[in-house]
Amino acid sequence: MEPLTENFQDTVKSLLIRHQSVLDILTKGQEASARVNRAVVKSVTSCGCLAIDAHKKPIPENATLYDLKALLDSNVQGNLCDNCRETIESELGKQLFYIAALANTLDISLDEVFEREMKKLSTLTIFNMT
């Protein structure tokens, strides 16, 4: 069975007609990223299903790198409502479409990218501070 990423890339390749130029793909990908950001912001500002509690977190002087996982958090409070979840998932899907399109244009396998990144993460574990 073909890996999901490879299948997705093949599907994107078959569907991408209008925006085949790498410049179009880059700008459409940037637009898709902005739409994801906007959808998350709207879940806070328009819907209210999420709230953001962002302030500087106190970190004890003797805290270790491992302690930071427990001390720091996402600053997100609440849960996505069904409508916001659907919107964000849709926008993430469009963003993934243009990531796959860019990978196709540059002859990069997303499956290999995922494998390489997983290997790096498992090797560096918590020290992968990218």
pLDDT score of 21 more than 70: yes
Contacts of 103 by beta carbon, 8 Å cutoff, 6+ apart: 9, 109, 110, 113
Q: Which residues of 52-80 are buried (b: 16+ CB within 10 A; e: fewer)?
A: eeeeeeeeeeeeeeeeeeeeeeeeeeeeb
What residue ranges do the domains of the chain occupy? 4-127
Residues 106-130: tens digit of each pLDDT: 999 999 999 999 998 888 776 666 4
pTM recorded for the entire structure: 0.85
Helix, strand, coil % over all residues of the chain, rounded to 5: 65, 5, 30
Average pLDDT over residues 51-59: 91
pLDDT range class, residue 10, cuts 50, 70, 90: very high
Region 3-16: what's the mean pLDDT?
91
Structure-model confidence comparison of residues 32 and 65, the more confident one: 32
> Do residues 103 and 110 lie in contact, with contact meaning Cβ atoms separated by under 8 Å?
yes
Give tens-digit pLDDT for 95-109: 999 999 999 999 999
Average pLDDT of the segment spanning 52-69:
88
- For domain 4-127, the CATH superfamily is MazG-like (1.10.287.1080)
